[in-house]
Each structure stands twice: as structure tokens, then as C-alpha cells.
Amino acid sequence: MKRLGFRFEGIAAMAGLALAWQIASYFFPPFLFPSVPAIARRFAGIFLEAAPLADALSTAARILLGLGGAFVLGAVLALLMGRSERFRRYAHPLLNFNQGIPALSWVVISIIWFKGIEFRIFFIMVMTTLPAFTYQLLDAYRSMSKELLEMTLSFRPSRLDLLRVLVLPTVMPGILTAWKVNLGNAARVVVVAELVGATGGIGYELLQQQQLFDMAGAIAWTIVLVVFVLIVQSLLGLIERWSLAYRPLAERGL
């Protein structure tokens, strides 16, 4: 009942926004507020033609690849920082410094440094999402119960077994949270990267719409990106419900 209520409220909120936009379209010219049907046609058109669909899919792939790269590198850094205080003392200021660098600076740097478009975007994605992944995974690693660690060690596990039976289940909630948080960041960054440094993708298409003063196209491409983020968020939610199935009953009272 609660889920149904939530879904109804969500749909009602989105319908309200569409209605308000449609009303605005009656009072403003189409280049400012195109009608909802016009936007819907442009949105559907993206999936009906090969070239725009390829643009949408390439952006999705860039987001997932970039996040995957940052996750792997962040996990290695977090593990090293968690295991070595000396390494943490060196890595911490560098990650903090990185956090202060705007995404646009990485775009400029990558254009100057690298020739290949795909590597440029991959580099930008990794550099902008790396600190958050590292810190979130480090926090998850550090939250590992000393009591459970001692108990597991008493059975003398191999390093691989320790990782499998204790470390991974412990950091799993942190991993999922990190992916959910960074997915939104990555979607914003990839558009900036494509806007400036790519010849295809949603960011590139948005630039085309801006040059053509085509608001319906700009909104349609934006919605494509949002829908992609929502689909991945839903998948992460499913993984979360499956892998953390032991938790809801225990924490219902919180």
C-alpha cells in the first residue's frame, strides 16, 4: 500500500510538472516553452533513429565505464589507505586537492593532454568521481566490525576467504551507496565533458540544440539522460534489496 502510494505520488508530481509546462507553452513562444507533445515526439524520435540512439547509448557506456574505472581505482586506494596509515597520510591530501578541482578544469586538461576522445572522457569521469568513491569505500572498510574480524580470524581464513566471507559483505552497503551517489555526479560530468570535448553523445547533442535554439530537443535529450540514471538507480535498488535482504526486518524499528 505504501509502495503504491509512493508510486502514485511520484506519477502525480511528474504529471503536475508536465501540466504546468504545457500551460506555460500556451503563453510563451515554442523556443522558450515547447508543448509537451512536441517534446514527447522529439524524445520518441531519439529511439527510432539509429544515429541519435547511438549517441544516447555512447553516453550511457561512457558513464558506466567511467564509474567502473573510478570504482576499481577507488577500491584499490581505499584498501591501501585502510591497511597502511602511512599511505593514507600521503593519499589523503592528494584526494582532497583533487576534490577542489572543477570538472571543467579536468575537461581542459584532458583536451590538452590526450588525443583520443574516448580516453579524454574516461579520464575526466575517473578523476571527478575518484575521491567520492575512495572516501566512501574507505569509510565502509573502516566500519568493519573488529569483533567479527577477530571471530573470522580465529578460524584462520586465507586472505581470499577473508575478503569473500567478511570484507565484501561488510562493504557491500557502502559500495551500493557510492554507486548511487556517484551515478548522479557522473551523469552531470559526462555532459560537460561531451559538450566541450566530444563529437557525439548527449552532451554533444545538447550543444547542437543550443546552437539551433531548439528547446524541445534540449529537453528531450535531458530526459534521455535522466531516464538512464533512473534505470540504473532502479537496478542498483534491486541489487540492494537482494544483497541486503537480511537487513530490513532488523532495522524496521529504526
Partner 1 sequence: MSAAAAITLDRVAKRFERGAAGDSELYAVRELSLSVGAGELVAILGPTGCGKSTTFNLIAGLIRPSSGSVRVMGHDPYDEFDWFRGKIGIVFQSDRLMPWRSALDNVALGLELNKCPREERRAIARAWLERLGLKGHADDFPHALSGGMRQRVGIARAFAVRPALLLCDEPFSGLDAVTGDALRREFVDLVRETGCTGIFITHSIEEALQLGRRILVFQRPARIVYEAVLDPDTSRDSRAEIRAEIRRALGGDGIP
- Chain contacts with partner 1 (rule: CB under 8 A): 147-148, 150-158, 161, 165-166, 169, 244, 246-247, 249-250
Residue 241 or 247: which CB sits closer to partner 1?
A: 247
Grid coordinates of 224: 534521455
Grid cell locating 34: 515547447
Min separation Cβ 133 and partner 1, Å: 22
CA distance 189 to 121: 9
Distance CA(37)–CA(23), nearest Å, equals: 12
Kindly state the smallest distance separating residue 85's Cβ from partner 1, in Å: 13
Return the number of the residue (100 or 248) whose C-beta is nearest partner 1: 248
Cβ 140 to partner 1 shortest distance, Å: 14
Round to the nearest angstrom and report the end-to-end CA distance of the chain.
20
Residues whose CB is less than 8 angstroms from the CB of residue 46 and which lie 6 or more positions away in sequence, other chains included: 52, 53, 55, 56, 220, 221, 224
Specify the residue, 1 or 250, whose C-beta has the smaller distance to partner 1: 250
Provide the minimum distance between the beta carbon of 240 and partner 1 in the complex, in angstroms, as a whole number. Answer: 13
Q: Any idea what the Cα angle at residue 188 is, between residues 185 and 193, rounded to 5°?
A: 115
Q: Which is nearer to partner 1, 158 or 199 (CB)?
A: 158
Q: Supply the minimum distance, in Å, between the C-beta of residue 159 and partner 1.
A: 11
Cα separation, 68 vs 232, whole angstroms? 13
Neighbours of 118 (CB within 10 A): 13
Q: How far is the CB of 158 from partner 1 (least distance, A)?
A: 8
State how far the Cα of 203 lies from the Cα of 233, in Å rounded to an integer. 20
Task: Output 41 or 83, the one with its CB closest to partner 1.
Answer: 83
Measured distance CA(160)–CA(142) in Å, rounded: 18
Q: Which is nearer to partner 1, 166 or 232 (CB)?
A: 166
CB-nearer residue toward partner 1: 27 or 155? 155
Helix axes 117-142, 50-83, angle to 10 degrees: 40
Minimum Å gap between C-beta 60 and partner 1 is: 31
